[in-house]
Structure 1
Amino acid sequence: MDPFHVVHLASDKLTVCRQRVQQAATGHRGRTGDPLYGIRRTLNTGAELLTDKQRIRLWKAFVADDAHVAVEVTYGIYQRLIYAYEATNRREGKIAMYKLLKSIRAGVSKKLPELAQLGRSLWKRRREILAYFDVGASNGPVEAINGRLEHLRGIALGFRNLKHYILRSLIHSGQLQNRINAL
């Protein structure tokens, strides 16, 4: 599991936790003016990238209701996960990640089902997660290329003429101008 997928999984669990707490506290989905709905994007931002205004908004949302503690705890775990990947020294990052995985593996309150599920999922894949710190390689570039190829394949649906498909592919990839200039 590369850093992108691990952080994405944690981000998804944070979103589900926020939605659950929002629903329990207000009895409806998020609306404008609801504290947790107002911070939904801010929660997925790294702590070091937050502006003062965003920090204040987070703090106000967390102290607005005691029920928001679940979101605050899950947010803290999410930030620790990001911090482990951003460590300048691979050894420090690996130690921080192992401690984090161990801490959320067991001992998580039953009031935090999303965090408990995240802990179980990450603990099962701990070897792959920790291997990133030994190797330092990621399959992110391969995933990016596969994503582009899938998108390009989706554009081709309905084309029966190979020349039209090639032309559409060149237009989409921005290479048509190079092809014209080569003539």
Structure 2
Amino acid sequence: MFKCLKRIRSGLPTGLDELAQLGCSLWKRRGEILAYLDVGISNDPVEAIDGRLEHLRGIALGFRNLNHYILRSLIHSGQRQERINALNREEPSKRGQCVDRGVKA
């Protein structure tokens, strides 16, 4: 690309003033142009995460309740079942029952 910019700037025959002006403009901004073309990084990891989130959103369509949406997403992921209260098997609380605390009347 650098060679192309250099050729447009200086290697033109006479009479092509507009093209020469374009070459000068491109030469002045060559650093930006070359930086744009030579990135060397990828946004694949971001796209992968975004794809997974879109998949989860598609699975939980139709839920009007945000808690149900979150619950369905967590169930599908399979990694956060400890955070889901509905899936935890705890013993029911003994609320309302008399508990003998060893106090004599």
**TM-score of the pair, normalised by structure 2:** 0.40
**TM-score of the pair, normalised by structure 1:** 0.24
Pick 1 or 2: higher relative contact order, CA cutoff 8 A, min separation 6: 1
Flag the structure with larger Rg.
Answer: 2
